[in-house]
């Protein structure tokens, strides 16, 4: 796992926008009424493996980017498109419990994010404890309903 050092610290993959597969996008209206686009990529072959087994393979990497949006009336309607990236999140599937005692790792995944804005500084344990991914516990902590490519054809 070259994205992880011996201590279990996680870094964002360098080339995910070119090499990873697009899983899908959530459009989220935040508390200020602004539309964000949450775009998720997965390491190669994630979708094929998931469609065959209903599982994420050990070592699967998910990268989520949160974008602000611009919008305008277009011939298709009130269109919103991604503008400046705000924050990213990385999850790495770990079936072996490789980093016991490291708070970034738990529930079968490694969790890491990096935020430009200090107030949303995050670390794995604290955020996971917030329970934000609990609603997705039955689908291995991932909101698979947002990713059509994971649905069996
Ligand atoms: C280090 C902490 C975190 C990491 C690494 C992380 C990682 C991710 C990743 C990779 C995804 C895309 C895969 C999926 O759909 O599950 C995702 C989606 C999601 N996460 Fe997290 N997350 C973290 C913290 C949070 C927190 C604090 C919240 C609650 C505010 C949250 C709520 C969600 C929701 C609702 C989705 C699916 C829909 C969406 O993208 O808006 N996560 N997260």
pTM of the model: 0.92
Residue 4: inside a domain, yes or no? Answer: no
Which numbered atom of ligand 1 lies nearest the CA of 135? Answer: 35
CA distance 153 to 147: 13
Q: Convert 11-25 to b/e letters by CB count within 10 Å (16 or more is b).
A: eebeebeeebeebbb
Residue nearest to atom 11 of ligand 1 (CA): 64
Look at residue 137 in the predicted model and tell me its pLDDT: 94
Given a cut of 80, is residue 2 above it in pLDDT? no
Residue 7: inside a domain, yes or no? Answer: no
- Its domain, for residue 92, covers 16-148
CA distance 118 to 137: 28
45 φ, ψ (degrees, to nearest 5): 70, 5
Give 121's pLDDT tier (boundaries 50, 70, 90). Answer: very low
Which tokens in the block code for residue 115?
């935020």
Q: How many domains does the chain have?
A: 1
Residue 134: inside a domain, yes or no? Answer: yes
| CATH code, 56 | 3.50.70.20
Residue 57: inside a domain, yes or no? Answer: yes
Residue 5: inside a domain, yes or no? Answer: no
* 91-111 tens-digit pLDDT: 999 999 999 988 889 999 999
Residue 68: inside a domain, yes or no? Answer: yes
Q: Ligand 1 pocket, 122 CB below 6 A? A: yes
Q: Which helix (H) or strand (E) holds 73?
A: strand 61-74
């Amino acid at each position: 796992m070259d994205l992880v050092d011996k201590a279990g610290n996680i870094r964002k993959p360098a080339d995910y926008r070119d090499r990873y597969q697009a899983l899908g996008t959530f459009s989220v209206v935040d508390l200020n009424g602004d539309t964000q686009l949450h775009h998720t990529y997965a390491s190669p072959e994630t979708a094929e493996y998931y469609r065959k087994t209903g599982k994420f393979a050990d070592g699967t990497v998910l990268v989520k980017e949160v974008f602000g949006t611009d919008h305008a009336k277009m011939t298709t309607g009130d269109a919103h498109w991604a503008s400046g990236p705000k924050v990213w999140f990385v999850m790495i599937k770990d079936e072996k419990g490789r980093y016991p005692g490291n708070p970034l790792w738990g529930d079968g995944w490694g969790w890491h994010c990096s935020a430009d804005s200090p107030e949303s500084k995050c670390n794995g344990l604290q955020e996971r404890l917030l329970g934000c991914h609990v609603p997705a516990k039955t689908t291995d902590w991932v909101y698979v309903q947002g990713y059509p490519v994971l649905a069996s054809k």
